[in-house]
Amino acid sequence: MSCEDNHDKKDADRKARRSRALTIVSGVSEAGRAGAAGTSAPDAASDAAADTASAPRYWRSVAERDRTAAWEQAAHREFPPGASELNDDVSRRSFMQLVGVSTAVAGFGVACRKPNEKIVPFVRRPEEVTPGNPQHFATAHELEGFATGLVVESHEGRPTKVEGNPDHPISLGAATSYDQALVLGLYDENRARQISRNGDPIAWRTFLDDVSRRGQALAADGGAKLRFLTEPTASPMLGDLRRRIIEKFPRAKFVSYSTLGGEAGFEGARLAFGRPLQPRQHFGEAAVILSLDADFLGDGPEQLRHSRHFAARREPGTNMNRLYVVEPSMTITGGMADHRQRLRGLDVAAFTLGLIAALTDRPGFESLAPLAGLARAQSAGKTWDAKWLAAVARDLEKNRGRSLVITGRRQPAAVHALVNALNVALGNLGKTVTFGAPVLVDGTNGALALGSLAEDIAAGQVDTLVITARNPAYTAPADLKFAQLLRRVPNTIYHTLYEDETAAASHTLVPAAHVLESWGDARAVDGTASIVQPLIAPLWGGIPESEILAAFVGDGDVGAHQLVRRYWKDRLGASQDFNAAWERWLADGVIAGTAVPAEEGLAVDAPALAGALSPLLAPKPEALELAFVRDAKVFDGRFGNNAWLQELPDPMTKLTWDNSLQISQTTAQKLGLETGDLVSVDFRQRKMEAAVMIVPGHVDEAVTLPLGYGRTGEGEAVAKGVGFNANLLRASDALWFGRGVTLTKLDERYKFGLTQDHWTMSPDGRDIPPPAVETPLMQLLKEGSEFHQELEARRGPAATIHTPVDYSSQKYKWAMAIDLNRCTGCNACVTACQSENNIPTVGKANVMKGREMHWIRIDRYFSGSVEDPTVITQPLACVHCESAPCEYVCPVNATVHSDEGLNEMAYNRCIGTRYCSNNCPYKVRRFNFLEYNGDVTAARQMGMNPDVTVRSRGIMEKCSFCVQRIERKRIDSRIAGVPIADGDIQTACQQGCPSAAITFGSLHDTNSRVSKLHASPRRYDLLHELGTRPRTAYLARVRNPNPELARAE
């Protein structure tokens, strides 16, 4: 199937899609029209393919961009600060050239040219496209098998921005950084492009013939030597295809594998309730939450929904929830905790049993009695704070039916089962936690599943292996030696986005279509199905997964579009109008009535559970613990080639372009290590090197290593050679935690690219008004307390000798409010802003120099002790001061104030003195030190937001309050003749925020949400004492400590 075919199909169905855009007149700025305005997508794509076939297009340093020989050598880990340009950029030869050029230039001055631009207009304009007006289409992104509903903005057929679908039960209008960065991944020049067999290009038709011939041969013994290795998926269509394949090849096997496998939850439910079930938490109902190593705000398929519901109950008052977190390393969930207990991952089970032991004596917990013996035996003599545990137990007990215990993907099934038993005993079942039939096609998708496949391969039982899973050769636990085993399979068909580690071990390579290029379907955790629709024809000839599978049942040439339509037509039945339903599904982004109902009448058989658990809870040796964790930037490595995500600072460590061996200060001191030391990590006779980073709040006697780094795949220029490969130490039976790791300090130092070097709000001990304010709930509820006086002093009119500008005659007075109580620091706003505003990435070397370009940054502060700190995160973008220090120092009037109060940048006028940045007390201005957009590829240009100017070298830039969105709504409102209503304009950061921490609107509307927040008793202005009168107000964070523990502290 070709590009054109797919595009035609897409055209045919275009009318069916949802268009949320109402604007008629374009308010597009002229300079940023990245990609010629009317170029149709496939043309531009092939142009792009043609003219940038060779070089890497997302780079970590300028050197990499230029691919100098010096860079090739230095690429692995040498990013010296300071003097790097000499080493990286100037070879002797280029130096001589430079000298020559200099001599010429010295005499004649430098001529700087403006880029040549070509605009190719549409010859025939598609009916539904008004150039300049974006369209929005609903689709879904499946990660770990579960879907998040998305709405994608498309400009003239080019997807430019991914947003959450407000109608989707999981997304609720927000989107994670992973979702939002899809748009960069789509246009990635490194993506695999060519179907090949043993390195030789072949046609799709040839591939189909191949599969069909091989299928006939395999069918002889019922497909006994045919295996499929897929991602975990809940796609009904793929499930159906699988059923058909098994029908045809009854002895073939499907294996789902994900390195982050979520199977413990199902297994935990099986242990507790007798059958595998999908747990679902309802944070909106929970008053007291205990998280046992569950990063529910930052990780997992429901993080967006959880964030929204959790934040909703953070409104200070009697209804405010309380969060206890037990975890080994700092997560954003731990950062939001009211009380946090550091505990090693393998001790969490004992802690859970300790909690059960503490509760079994109480009235009403009789159901836990059979576990009491086990609980007492296992939890005796442990080192956690007994007072803490007792207080938590009492708090949970007091809030029966309104409490929630949750555990995460890293904990074994036994802990999940105990948590289920606890929730049942606490009366939370059906209230704060429900269970539904699993929606995943395969319940087991972890290392066990892969292990059985590995055994089959080793035994020579596999002749043909079809891999649609993401890079198993890299993600597989080291003990399986999966990459070596793969080479022993006679025929491997690998369906992949990138020519990665697995591609190197496979025979036939089929480039995958990106999620934004494919037809398909997916289901959310609650079962709600969505149709996945393409936004653009495959740029590099990618094939959707469904077409590969369909090839095995002879439907290889049907196409994903027809496959998904056929499936849903059959499912809908002949009685209903399929076309009408289909259009509605596409427009809504969800298929109503597909959610899985909560199971009723679940009961825990505690004696059986106790029996089942005892063997699972073997005592653990006392030794240094090694823990692995999903990386906040690149997930399991699959987003490694995405420069936005690589440069997204880790929410806690603020590390970019790397992972690190996290360790507590105490343990580091004990081992004689400090941040930046390179160590050899030995675990079970396997070893790797990693650089140490001391992280406040990390548990002692343990180290944590995020997954997803140390990639070696040839096809991924951005990901290759970045960070340290944790998978080299992972074993099937120690997937997340293992004891007995040893660290040996090497005589070498490593430099990290951190966007924030300091931990506290006052690293030099100065007594300043803290930038991020927090207080306990009791303080807030006490009127006229010291805290209130403090905040009072930090808002309202500041002393000035000038007459403040009068904005009352203006129609709107734009302002923002950021509720620190809701902000978890998840980074969704940062990626949203990057995507909306065409913000370039700068690479590790430039991050190390302090030149990252994010317009909104999330400041993270630790307070208290380094061992047990509290964390507060503070998003900070331009605060649009009414009396802006940046404006009066600009010599050329390039930054000026709008009538409605925006601090605006006239990029064309900027000469780059950087005085504005020097004088900005918030340091939110960003300077294009180099031509960061210089080598944007033709493909990447298609993904640029045409409403926002792409900035060139030497120019200052910063947050504009998404002025392009304001102007678009202004046009709408002028046409409609009504004023812009509150909530009509959402800035990109606001829209991306899962916890609704950011609010934007006009202060002239006294009923607007932002006006109300500006009047909040928690409101304060950052650096109020400078008299800048910022338009962004902050709402102080309020913690809700348990009075019992607060007193103890």
Nearer Cβ to other proteins (247/767): 767
Nearer to other proteins, 95 or 122 (CB): 95
β-pairing, 464-467 with 226-230?
parallel
* C-alpha span between 1001 and 817 (Å, rounded): 9
**Which residues, at least 6 apart from 124, have a Cβ–Cβ distance to it below 8 Å?**
none
Burial class (CB in 10 A: 0-12, 13-18, 19+), 27: middle
Work out how close the CB of 928 gets to other proteins at its nearest, in angstroms, rounded to a whole number: 7
Q: In angstroms, what is the minimal distance from the CB of 857 to other proteins?
A: 7
> What are the distances in angstroms from CA 396 to CA 297, 319, 323, 384, 401?
20, 15, 11, 18, 9
Residue type, 824: T
Residue 884 tokens, joined: 């802006």
CA distance 865 to 870: 8
CA angle 87, 92, 93 (to 5 degrees): 125
Q: How far is the CB of 1021 from other proteins (least distance, A)?
A: 13
Minimum Å distance from CB 59 to other proteins? 13
Angle formed at CA 379 by CA 375 and CA 383, multiple of 5 degrees: 160
Nearer to other proteins, 410 or 951 (CB): 951
Nearer to other proteins, 105 or 1048 (CB): 105
What does the alpha-carbon distance between residue 968 and residue 650 come to, in Å, rounded to a whole number? 33
* 213 vs 923, beta carbon nearer other proteins: 923
Q: Kindly tell me which of 926 and 1031 has the beta carbon lying closer to other proteins.
A: 926
Cβ nearer to other proteins, comparing 217 with 805: 805
Q: Give the list of residues 6+ apart from residue 473 with CB closer than 8 angstroms, or none.
A: 482, 483, 486, 500, 501, 502, 504, 505
In the complex, least distance from residue 897 CB atom to other proteins, rounded to whole angstroms: 12
Query: In terms of CB distance, is 270 or 854 closer to other proteins?
Result: 854
Q: For other proteins, give the closer residue by CB, 391 or 890.
A: 890
Residue whose CB is less far from other proteins, 427 or 954:
954
Shortest CB 1004 distance to other proteins, Å: 28
* Smallest distance from other proteins to CB 734, Å: 37
Q: How far is CA 415 from CA 332, 440, 641, in A?
A: 22, 21, 35
| Strand ranges, E, within 901-1026 | 903-905, 926-927, 956-957, 998-1002, 1019-1020
Least separation, in Å, of the C-beta of 1042 and other proteins?
30
DSSP label at residue 53: S
DSSP H helices, 489-605, are 501-504, 545-551, 560-572, 578-588
Name the minimum Å distance from CB 995 to other proteins: 20
Complete DSSP assignment for 745-794: EEEEE---EES----SS-TT------SS-EEEHHHHHSTT-HHHHHHHTT
Distance CA 622, CA 731 (A): 19
Q: Report the amino acid identity of residue 644.
A: W
Question: Which residue type, as a one-letter code, is found at position 992?
Answer: G
Minimum CB–partner distance for residue 771 and other proteins (Å): 5
CB of 906 to other proteins, least distance (A): 9
Closest distance to other proteins from the beta carbon of 102 (Å): 4
Q: Judge residue 572's burial from the number of C-beta atoms within 10 Å of its C-beta, 0-12 exposed, 13-18 middle, 19 or more buried.
A: middle
- Cα separation of 543 and 513, whole Å? 5
Q: Which is nearer to other proteins, 90 or 612 (CB)?
A: 90
Least CB distance to other proteins at residue 1018 (A)? 20
680 beta partners: 689, 744
Please check whether residue 415 is in contact with residue 654, taking contact to mean a CB–CB distance below 8 angstroms: no
Q: Provide the token pair at 460.
A: 């020579």
- Helices 263-273/413-425 angle, 10° precision: 50
Pairing between strand 226-230 and 253-256? parallel
What is the nearest approach in angstroms of other proteins to the Cβ of residue 664? 22
Determine the Cα–Cα distance for residues 326 and 334; give it in Å rounded to an integer.
8
Q: Which two tokens stand for residue 451?
A: 């292990």
* Least Cβ distance, residue 51 to other proteins (angstroms): 23
Least Å distance, CB 962 to other proteins, is 21
Nearest approach, Cβ of residue 111 and other proteins (Å): 8
d(CA 884, CA 21): 34
What are the beta bridge partners of residue 591?
529
Please state the closest distance from residue 847 (CB atom) to other proteins, in A.
10
Between 690 and 848, name the residue whose CB sits nearer to other proteins: 848
Nearer to other proteins, 620 or 758 (CB): 758
Give the CA distances from residue 720 to residues 286, 326, 510, 867, in Å, rounded to whole numbers and listed in that order.
Answer: 43, 35, 21, 34
> Smaller CB distance to other proteins: residue 82 or 672?
82
Residue 309 phi/psi, 5-degree rounding, is -75, -35
Question: Of the two residues 635 and 861, which places its CB atom closer to other proteins in the complex?
Answer: 861
The token pair that represents 642 in the structure block: 């995405």
Structure-token pair, residue 1002: 């006009």
Closest CA to 325 of 864, 699, 821, 820: 699
Burial class (CB in 10 A: 0-12, 13-18, 19+), 123: exposed
Nearer to other proteins, 172 or 916 (CB): 916
Of the pair 380, 911, the CB lying nearest other proteins is at 911
860 vs 969, beta carbon nearer other proteins? 860
